[in-house]
Structure 1
Amino acid sequence: MYIVTNRTVDESKHSESEAFGSKPIEGPNELRLAEVSRRGDRWHVDVLPDQITPEMAKSVGLNPDNTYPASAYVARKLIEKGGHGPGSRESGKNLLLFVHGFNNDMTDVLDRAERLEENYDVEVIVFSWPANGGGLRGVLSYKSDKRDALASVGAFNRVLEKLEVLVSEFHARYVMELEVRAEKRFKDNAAAWDSYFAKEVQKHCPFTVNMMLHSMGNYLYKHLLKSSVYNGDRLLFDNIVMVAADTNNENHAEWVDRIQYRNRLYITLNENDGALKASRLKMGEQQKARLGHYLRRLDSRVATYMDFTGQPHVGDAHAYFEETPLRNRKVLDFFTAALNGKVAEKRTRFDPSRNIHLL
């Protein structure tokens, strides 16, 4: 899988605990990319150079005589995994950008991303911000991560900008392939060419691009949406899934309603979420109700709210998209659909009095 990060990195190290630091990179919104693979029970990390080598360029079909940033290499690799390009697989996977939450070191992040790939058959790219409290614990760790989240807003915006370029390349390649097919079939019939091309383009893109934000990752997203650097017209994702959001419920519609998406914006809630209940006390005084566990004032005009409260195997889980909660088929089916860009609330019951879907 691929990691994009604003953590400090050490290119000479190959374990996740040594290659990635716990502090933001110095410099305005700088990002680094890394290629990560599982080797037995360990992770192997290759921090990619800012400019890729000629050998790397050649391996993904780029001209080795030219210079390219690491993002060009990763884009080509992801295009192949999506089912396109010279080294592509017959059946591609949908792409998921995963933004993790509070108090996650890189081993936690990679293990969770791997579970997302295995459980939902998606290709995960991770945005990892310095969310492990700088070695602190408890209230100090929580405050430290909140500061790092705010410091990571510009970097996260750059991630979305780069992903926008990647999605554009995905689309351009798909359109080019359709044009070649149309030319082979209808090169002497312009009307049939146009009709075939229009129908194929409208059917679907070859894969969907989705984003999942967990816990304090939603706090980071909130502050990006409210910042002056955010481009509100950016339409990147088919689905956006905001899970167990550790940010204020109060007035959340003011920033949630700015979010652009193609299919659905899901906000998931668990009233019994133990981590969110605890987070209300972590600042030394009671915080306001958290968006991910408060079943009132659900007043966004664009979000689809999903209630996981009281579901078998969910309990007080904060990460109810993995492990024990997935014994509940309704939970598994929801996240499988949502993280693959599909409509996920079809089999739920809607409660209009609270504006929420019940699993």
Structure 2
Amino acid sequence: MLIFTNRVISSGATAESFGRAFTPGSKQLGVATIASSGSGWKLSAQNADVSDDVASKMLEKLFQGTKPVLLYVHGYNNSPAACFRRIHKLQELYPGAVVIGFSWPAEGFQSDGLPLPALISATTSTADEEDLSKIKPDNRTKGFIQNKIRQFHQAQTNGKDSVEAFARLLRLIAAVRLKTNNQPFSLAIHSLGTHLFQYSLQAEGATESAGAAYNVAFLAPCVRAAAHKEWVTLFRPKGRTYIAYNRGDTVLFGASIADGNQVKLGAEPGTDRVKSNGVRYISFSDAKLNGGGHGYFVSGVKGKSLELFSRIFTSQSDFEVNESPKVVYPIGCDVNGTTCYMAVPQDQIPQA
């Protein structure tokens, strides 16, 4: 697995070689090849400050291969080891693509890698994206929950401070795609990774680079639902932009409370949706999901869900013009195809 990062990389061969520290606002990228080793991970070919030329050559080998490329960007509180596990799992689930990743400092530490000062009580972070689900309306002022909220807000800041490195990676991938003119690529961006992506659109060449992708899939996006049309329409991929949401997502419920009851796009996009052939909303609301319904593309995925994501992640359309939407969407789509349904939402009966 090829993993790029804006974290500081040391010379070790384990996951801990990807550190917590990073340089805010820097374009510097590190890279390593990751392989599963027993219960851990073995790193090789580490480069803490990779040049455009070297990075491009590494990417060219993939784009000249026999499979499309998928860039995965993780969400909140993913340690490097958690990122490696997720990408390894995605590679197993979706063998039709070559999965690469971007690891960014999402655990809520300061840019020097140290914990936030004066935490109310000892941190209980488990480097688990499900951690936010512990935040409830009746405990949001408790000490240990205040820790989680502060760490979440720091992760949001770290995402904004990582945009230059991520935008550089997008530019490199788009350029290699154009140069090789062989395999397409798509983006799979999970949860708070969407926050990073949204702010990256302000960086040089980012919108054009995102437009070079075939599909851009926002999976349980942890960003504000209101006014999302303003940035979702800044780029236009070759295939389509997909926005997957689930009203019952407990992780995004916790994030909403942490952000002053701000409704998240991955929980409820609202009625003011992008109405374009280039954007599709996917409702997982009231579907039979794994606990919390936040990782439905990787945990317990099977049947039509597996077929749906297999197509999106391998740079294909969700369904072809000569196919019924129900080949991947059990309930079909609304009349204009803006929203498709994995289950019948309890508060809405979609049209055939």
TM-score by structure 1 length? Answer: 0.76
Greater length-normalized contact order (CA 8 Å, ≥ 6 residues apart): 2
String of CA shifts for 1:36-88, please: whole Å, max 9, x gaps. Answer: 11122221112533799xxxxxxxxxxxxxx98431441243245x2xxxxxx
Shift of 1:245: 0.3
* d(CA) in 1 for partners of 2:29, 2:281: 33
In structure 1, the partner of 2:208 is 233
Shift of 1:208: 2.6
SS of 1:133's partner is coil
In structure 1, the partner of 2:18 is 20
- The change in CA–CA distance for 1:29 and 1:277 in structure 2 (over 3 A counts) is same
Of the candidates 124, 131, 135, which is equivalent to residue 106 of structure 2? 131
Name the amino acid aligned to 1:34: A
Of the candidates 169, 176, 186, which is equivalent to residue 166 of structure 1? 176
2:11 equivalent to 1:5: no
Of the candidates 226, 239, 249, which is equivalent to residue 250 of structure 1? 226
Unaligned runs of 5+ in 2: 110-114, 116-122, 126-147, 320-324, 343-352
Judge conservation of contact 2:239–2:316 (CA < 8 Å) in 1.
Answer: yes
* d(CA) in 1 for partners of 2:73, 2:298: 15
How is 1:78-117 mapped onto 2 (pairs within 5 angstroms)?
A: 78-79=62-63, 82=65, 92-117=66-91
Name the amino acid aligned to 2:273: D
Choose 1 or 2 for highest CA Rg: 1
Of the candidates 213, 236, 239, which is equivalent to residue 263 of structure 1? 239
- The change in CA–CA distance for 1:72 and 1:255 in structure 2 (over 3 A counts) is closer
Name the amino acid aligned to 2:78: N
Name the amino acid aligned to 1:264: R
SS of 1:48's partner is strand
Judge conservation of contact 2:198–2:231 (CA < 8 Å) in 1.
Answer: yes
Which moved further from structure 2: 294-303 or 161-170?
294-303
In structure 1, the partner of 2:311 is 337
* d(CA) in 2 for partners of 1:353, 1:261: 20
2:297 equivalent to 1:313: no
Shift of 1:255: 0.4
2:51 equivalent to 1:70: no
Judge conservation of contact 1:249–1:289 (CA < 8 Å) in 2.
Answer: yes
- The change in CA–CA distance for 1:221 and 1:170 in structure 2 (over 3 A counts) is same
Judge conservation of contact 2:225–2:265 (CA < 8 Å) in 1.
Answer: yes
Name the amino acid aligned to 1:16: A
String of CA shifts for 1:237-276, please: whole Å, max 9, x gaps. Answer: 1111100000011000010011220111110011111100
Shift of 1:230: 4.3
Judge conservation of contact 2:25–2:161 (CA < 8 Å) in 1.
Answer: no
2:329 equivalent to 1:356: no
Count how many residue pairs are aligned between Structure 1 and Structure 2: 294
- The change in CA–CA distance for 1:77 and 1:51 in structure 2 (over 3 A counts) is farther
Unaligned runs of 5+ in 1: 53-66, 83-91, 175-206
* d(CA) in 1 for partners of 2:101, 2:78: 12
* d(CA) in 2 for partners of 1:218, 1:76: 26
* d(CA) in 2 for partners of 1:246, 1:344: 23
SS of 2:314's partner is coil
* d(CA) in 1 for partners of 2:238, 2:314: 13
Shift of 1:111: 0.4
Judge conservation of contact 1:51–1:68 (CA < 8 Å) in 2.
Answer: no
* d(CA) in 2 for partners of 1:156, 1:133: 18
2:187 equivalent to 1:211: yes
In structure 1, the partner of 2:43 is 45
* d(CA) in 1 for partners of 2:99, 2:246: 25
- The change in CA–CA distance for 1:164 and 1:278 in structure 2 (over 3 A counts) is same
Shift of 1:355: 3.8
- The change in CA–CA distance for 1:303 and 1:314 in structure 2 (over 3 A counts) is farther
- The change in CA–CA distance for 1:41 and 1:268 in structure 2 (over 3 A counts) is same
SS of 2:55's partner is helix
Judge conservation of contact 1:97–1:127 (CA < 8 Å) in 2.
Answer: yes
* d(CA) in 2 for partners of 1:248, 1:26: 23
Q: Percent identity?
A: 24
* d(CA) in 1 for partners of 2:56, 2:263: 42
Judge conservation of contact 1:272–1:315 (CA < 8 Å) in 2.
Answer: no
Judge conservation of contact 1:295–1:354 (CA < 8 Å) in 2.
Answer: no
